[in-house]
Amino acid sequence: MSDQNDMNTMVIDAYRTNGGVLGDDVAGGHFTGKRLVLLHHVGRVSGTERVTPLVAATDGDAYLVVGSMGGAPKDPVWVANVEEGPEVVTIEVGDQTLQARATVVRAPSAEWERLYGIWAEYWPDAKEYETHTDRKFPVIRLEPVA
């Protein structure tokens, strides 16, 4: 298991144990006070269900997550899984499990600018991530459905 998988497992376990609230004891306190969602997606090659913890800003009732991967040169695999998978995905927000319509928004577009701006303002690490790549990070809008 990679270090990233180990970190994700630790974050997911703490998230579920504490009703979606992460404290200073998880990931060095990096997520303290921030909203995360657990995004369920299916590997497009493996067919295996995966869960990825992601920092989430809000846009009305929707949640915004971004495929930044810390500024890596390529999108994280989960973005393609969402983009090529079913339109409706499962997310965990706090202690709730919801169905959400997933829309991948890519640059260049006015909507991408607006949504990425919301997320980058919420997650200050975005500015540092941008220094590592010329890639524009895809924004995934997760709109809960009834």
What is the percent of the chain with per-residue pLDDT over 70, rounded to a whole number?
A: 99
88: which residues sit within 8 A by CB, 6+ positions away? 99, 100, 101, 102, 145
Displacement of CA 98 from its chain's centroid (Å): 15
> Torsion over CA of 71, 90, 1 and 68, rounded to 10 degrees?
0
Global pTM reads 0.94
CATH superfamily placement of domain 3-144: Electron Transport, Fmn-binding Protein; Chain A (2.30.110.10)
pLDDT in tens, 11-33: 999 999 999 988 888 877 888 88
